[in-house]
Amino acid sequence: MTFEPKAKKKPFPLESLLVPQVPRGNYLHVQEDKQRLQFKKFLLHRMFLVAKIQANVEKKDIAEYYEQVFQSILKQHLEEAVTGVLLIYPTSLLHILESSNGTLFQILLDYLAHENDPQYFAQEMKIIVISHNIPTRLFMQWYVSVIKVPVMYLDDVTQSQSLKEVTTEFITHIHKLSFFLFKTIKVGSKGPGDNLHQIAPDLLLPEQIIKYLCKCKEFMDPATFINMYNKPVYITFDSEVVWPAPSRF
């Protein structure tokens, strides 16, 4: 009886241990692929601002000023148009802005350039919310609405509610109003105009909440936000920690 020699096993390739068989990516590549699919050239962000305004300032001057700022920024950041809505109350304003990170950064820098100017129309500006990498815009262009008729309220909710409750009410009202305008306003129109208090009175945010948020120290002002944005991040890895600590002679 003869036995056939067993076939020798092929050596396991060393390359399979060194090179991963499954292609791997990172979070940045995933975001870039999403932008390519949506034909976007930059990540889209949404920012909510509140501020007090001087009583003697013409409301149309505020709108014209922001339009000039947007045009100036557009020359540096091409195809990064600003969309959103500016609600001008009798003594305060609420501003929703949608654009790239660089454009929103320039808008905050413009405020800082006039922060110490007593004649500047906006004072005590606060950043309430910044939503990063939003999937789509809620506004097709930038609209302005002047709230001419003051809305009367029976009680001041800011006196009986906590900051968390007031902030929740603020975000709820704003998102409902934003979706209402998204469904109502047609592309190319002038927007809600100055009759927003008649079109959607229940969706309008009470001005007392805006003034309350302007005073809250829990929210960042543009200067604090920009300083934090420009501050470098230092991360100490475990491999950098040596024990015992090095000493100098």
pLDDT tens-digit series, residues 93-114:
999 999 998 899 999 999 999 9
State mean pLDDT over 79-91.
89
- Closest residue by Cα to residue 82 from 122, 34, 45, 28: 45
CATH of domain 40-230: 3.30.70.100
Which H or E run includes 63? helix 59-76
Query: What span, in angstroms and rounded, lies between the C-alpha atoms of 71 and 30?
Result: 32
At 8, the pLDDT band (50, 70, 90 cuts) reads low
Phi and psi dihedrals of 205, rounded to 5?
A: -80, 135
Q: Which residue has the higher pLDDT, 237 or 105?
A: 105
Q: What is the pLDDT of residues 30-80, one digit of tens each?
A: 666 665 545 456 789 999 999 999 878 888 899 999 999 999 998 887 767
pLDDT at position 30 is 66
Dig out the tokens for 25 from the structure: 């990516």
Residues 140-182 pLDDT 10s: 889 999 887 655 554 566 777 889 999 998 999 888 988 888 8
Is 63:142 a contact under the CB 8 Å cutoff? no
State percent of the chain over pLDDT 70: 71
* Cα–Cα distance, 184 to 195 (Å, whole number): 13
**Residue 138 above 80 pLDDT?**
yes
For the chain, the average pLDDT equals 80
CA distances for 125 relative to 9, 83, 121, 215, angstroms:
74, 19, 11, 9
Query: How far apart, in Å, do the first and last CA atoms of the chain sit?
Result: 82
Residues 6+ apart with CB under 8 A from 65: 121
Which of 82, 65, 66 is closest to 74 using CA atoms? 82
Q: Is 60 exceeded by the pLDDT of residue 223?
A: yes
Q: Token digits for 114?
A: 């006039």
Q: Does residue 29 carry a pLDDT above 70?
A: no
> Does position 191 have pLDDT exceeding 80, yes or no?
no
Q: State pTM to two decimals.
A: 0.74
Quote the distance between the C-alpha of residue 224 and its chain's center: 15
Name the residue among 63, 137, 54, 145 with its Cα closest to residue 92: 54
Cα gap 3→81, rounded to integer Å: 81
